[in-house]
Structure 1
Amino acid sequence: MGAEGFPGVEERVPQAGPERDKAFAEYVLPEVEVLLRVAMTLTSQAADAEDLVQDTLLRAYRSVDRFDGRHPRAWLLTIMRRTEINRHRRRRPQLLDDPDADLDRLAHSPAGPTATPEEIVVGESFDAVVDAALAALPVKHRQVVRLVDVDGLSYAEAAELLGVPEGTVMSRLHRARKRIRARLAAAGLAPKRGVL
């Protein structure tokens, strides 16, 4: 989906010259797909993700003439992060339950009939357990899994986007993967710790 999928961007910005348009096309438009994936990770709602990307594109268009041309993805992700922070400031933060309480409520379903590894990997039960494990993660852990493992961002890019040190991203990702493995092991879809 390109910038043309975001009606109104051109209407809400001041008229600019061909230099601004050229820089926008060169640095911003190639990153729209990444912005959409990351926005979806941050917001979890398609409409909110599209709004966030549109706001990011608008801000990028307004400031592209001041951009030095180095690292456009990092520049855009920084704009997106700041835009999302500003959007949250306008809304009352939602209180979250204790994420560890969700782990205590895990159902220990008995392992089903013995299946080949291929059947387990492609099976619906595997997907359902992974989806449930991902949904049960605290938001900050779920975000790093989606940014790094799903969207393919580097640790540094994810850290920049989230406004945390790279080591924090690595730590959160380690904890998230450990919890997902535990859910898979509890469902009989992965070996228990220490068993290969």
Structure 2
Amino acid sequence: MDEPSPDVGTARDKAFAEYVLPEVEVLLRVAMTLTAQPADAEDLVQDTLLRAYRAVDRFDGRHPRAWLLTIMRRAEVNRHRRRRPQLLDAPDADLDRLAGPASGGGASPEDIVVGACFDAVVDGALAALPVKHQHVVRLVDVDGLSYAEAAELLGVPEGTVMSRLHRARRRIRDRLAAGLAPKRGVM
């Protein structure tokens, strides 16, 4: 494989290294949120990076993360136009698969049972949310995007992101309180 030398030093390569490469980790996290499949997420990030490389010489240098997330959102929309979207059939199974096997022996049996119950209640509370609220929770609370970045990615106003997040957090909080309350008195 002939790869370009890092010493090429073209303006495009320098701009790409300065604006795009520092954001690759964020792009991968967001892509995982959008696609829920590691292979699809990697493909989406690769497509985003390719599009960004082609357009970096036209980029003004302001707000590279927002620029890249916009490219990613448009790339994902185009991917969905070409094929039927993959629906998440079993989110709990996907989360378990991504988490991998538990590393051995440090937790007490009580911690394992309480942790499993809590995780199940949290997963259930998140799964019970409308999809648009799930996306906002994942982008802001899990992936750590700002309201503005999430709004840009979802193509909605920032106030809509804030409103959805507030409602989602309230629903999760209520569901957690209801789901964990009976278990507190059990010994």
Q: TM-score when scaled to structure 2?
A: 0.74
Name stretches of at least 5 consecutive residues in structure 1 with no aligned partner.
Answer: 1-6, 97-118, 191-196
Quick check: 1:60 aligned with 2:52? Answer: yes
Q: What do you get for the CA RMSD once the two structures are aligned?
A: 2.6
Give the aligned partner of residue 16 of structure 2: 24
Moved more, 131-140 or 61-70: 131-140
Task: Output the amino acid matched with 1:58.
Answer: L
Quick check: 1:141 aligned with 2:152? Answer: no
Give the aligned partner of residue 78 of structure 1: 70
| Deviation of the 1:18 alpha carbon | 1.4
Name stretches of at least 5 consecutive residues in structure 2 with no aligned partner.
Answer: 89-110, 183-187
- Judge conservation of contact 1:126–1:189 (CA < 8 Å) in 2: no
**Deviation per residue, 1:93-134 (Å, 9 max, x gap):** 5789xxxxxxxxxxxxxxxxxxxxxx7xx7331122112221
1:123 corresponds, among 112, 115, 118, to 115
1:164 corresponds, among 129, 146, 156, to 156
Report how many residues are paired: 155
CA distance in 2, matches of 1:32, 1:154: 16
Give the aligned partner of residue 108 of structure 1: none
Secondary structure at 1:70's aligned position in 2? coil
Give the aligned partner of residue 34 of structure 2: 42
Q: TM-score when scaled to structure 1?
A: 0.71
Q: Identify, as 1 or 2, the structure richer in helix.
A: 2
Give the aligned partner of residue 168 of structure 2: 176
- Judge conservation of contact 1:24–1:64 (CA < 8 Å) in 2: yes
CA distance in 1, matches of 2:145, 2:80: 23
